[in-house]
Amino acid sequence: MQRKLISGIIGIFIALLIGAIIMLLQGYDPLQTYGALFNFSLFGLFPFATTLRNSVPLILTGLSASVAFASGPINLGQPGQLLMGALFATIGGLYFDLPPWLMIPVLLLLSMLGGALWSGVAAMLRKWFNMDEFITTLMLNMIADFFTFWAISYPFFDRSAYSPMTPQINTKGWLPIWGEFNSNVIVMILAFAVIYFVFNRLTAGYEWRITGHNSLFARLGGVKIDKNYVTVMLVTGALAGLAGGLVVMAGPHRFLKGLGANYAWDGVMIAVVANNGLIGTLLYGLFFSALQTGSLGMELITAVPKEFIMVLQAVIVLVIVAGRGYLDIFLDKTVAKRKARERTT
């Protein structure tokens, strides 16, 4: 745990340094830029609240990827599952009229159902036709993309709009906002707590983890790996779907074109950087959200374009992922050297 924290902090620090060098080479002032970046994402109530709000889809899709990868299934369908979740929540929001205390949970459940349904398709394709979820989830992303685009262009199209989008959902399904803080953060924290508990404390989570490490060992130990595979696919699909539902219910309150943005792929990236650790996913999710949130302000104040943040993200991913392996090798080698020296004396 401590080693992970240290390697993470060192990695981010080195990445920021490399970013500063790139900026210097292009004639920007790195200190001013980083100042603006973090001023507009962390320091102050509004920036911090925005960072929190923006982190929700990143963290939830990141959790989805982390849990899936750590348990075995290569579920790369978060983008599609997010869109299906968003669509389900939107449709529910358009047709249901319940009191808010019921409406919100129902829409959240609907979004989870949408995501789980979509990952469930991949799980069934694997079960019945032995198709690799690595491929099918990627393909299903495409289908979800076009299917939702069709849905918001025709059956659920808002006739008063000029571009594909649905009408706004029933205001009873809007997530409450307290001051600057959007309550989508609370839903995310609840979901995180539940997943963390399931993954680390429940028998099921133990079996998922061991299956992720070595499925043959788990199978020989009496774990029903096929059943667990389906469960993990459904759970991770539901998480990505929930991310989609929250995007709709916290933000535009409707499904509009390009709603999924790059959330899910960023989530997958966060899972990779966090090495599929749940707490790591939460922390890196917050950090990447801060970068993305601050980038707008950075562009406003300095001449550095906000696309620079994508460069910085890429550098962070490379430095941390490569550095993690290297740090282990380095520490192991140091131990080996010390041991060899002990032998001679």
Partner 1 sequence: MQILIEMKEIIKVFPPNVIAVDNVTADFRKGEIHAIVGENGAGKSTLMKVLYGLEHHNQGEIYLEGQRVNFQDPGEAIAHGIGMVHQEILLIPQYTVWENIVMGAEPVNFFGMIDRQTARQLVQKKIDEFQFNLNIDAKVDDISVAAAQKVEILKLLYRNVSVLILDEPTAVLTPQEIPQLFNELRRLRDLGHTILFISHHLEEVLSLSDRITVMRKGKKIATVQASETNKSDLAHMMVGRNVLFTTLREKKTVGKQIFSIENLTYIDGSQHKGLENINFKVHEREIVGIAGVEGNGQFELVNSIMGLIPTKEGSIRVNDVNLTKADILKRRQYISFVSQNRGKMGAAVKASILENVMMTHHRLNPQFTRWKGLLLNDQYARKFTEQIEQQFSVVMDRMDNPFHSLSGGNQQKVILGRELLLATPFVLLDQPTRGLDVGSIEYVHELILEMRDQNRAILLISADLEELFRIADRILVLHRGKIVADLPTDQTDIEEVGYLMLEGKERSCKEN
Tell me which of 4, 127, 172, 209 binds partner 1, using CB under 8 A.
209
- Counting contacts by CB under 8 A, is residue 25 touching partner 1? no
- Counting contacts by CB under 8 A, is residue 224 touching partner 1? yes
- Which residues are 281's β-sheet partners? none
- Which residues are 177's β-sheet partners? 182
Distances (CA, A) of 175 to 54, 93, 158, 160: 14, 12, 21, 24
Select from 30-38, 89-97, 209-217, 304-312 the region that touches partner 1 (CB under 8 A).
Answer: 209-217
Query: What are the two backbone dihedrals, phi and then psi, of residue 139, each rounded to the nearest 5 degrees?
Result: -65, -40
For residues 89-114, one letter each, b for 16 or more C-beta atoms within 10 angstroms of the residue's C-beta and e for the rest, the string is bbbbbbebeeeeeebbeebbbbbbbb
Nearer to partner 1, 257 or 333 (CB): 333
- Counting contacts by CB under 8 A, is residue 94 touching partner 1? no
Spatial separation of the C-alpha atoms in residues 28 and 20, rounded to whole Å: 9
- Counting contacts by CB under 8 A, is residue 201 touching partner 1? yes
- Counting contacts by CB under 8 A, is residue 329 touching partner 1? yes
Select from 34-42, 212-220, 237-245, 296-304 the region that touches partner 1 (CB under 8 A).
Answer: 212-220
Tell me which of 49, 216, 238, 315 binds partner 1, using CB under 8 A.
216
The helix or strand, by DSSP H or E, that contains position 56, with its residue range, turns out to be helix 45-71
Nearer to partner 1, 213 or 257 (CB): 213
- Counting contacts by CB under 8 A, is residue 70 touching partner 1? no
- Total residues interacting with partner 1, rule: CB under 8 A: 30
- Counting contacts by CB under 8 A, is residue 227 touching partner 1? no
- Counting contacts by CB under 8 A, is residue 343 touching partner 1? yes
Spatial separation of the C-alpha atoms in residues 52 and 46, rounded to whole Å: 10
Report helix, strand or coil for 170: coil
Nearer to partner 1, 159 or 343 (CB): 343
- Which residues are 181's β-sheet partners? 178
Spatial separation of the C-alpha atoms in residues 229 and 206, rounded to whole Å: 13
What would the x/- binding string for partner 1 be over residues 273 to 312, using CB under 8 A? ----------------------------------------
- Cβ pair 281, 71 in contact under 8 A: no
- Counting contacts by CB under 8 A, is residue 336 touching partner 1? yes
* Site residues for partner 1 per CB under 8 A: 201-204, 206, 209-210, 213-214, 216-224, 329, 331-333, 335-337, 339-341, 343-344
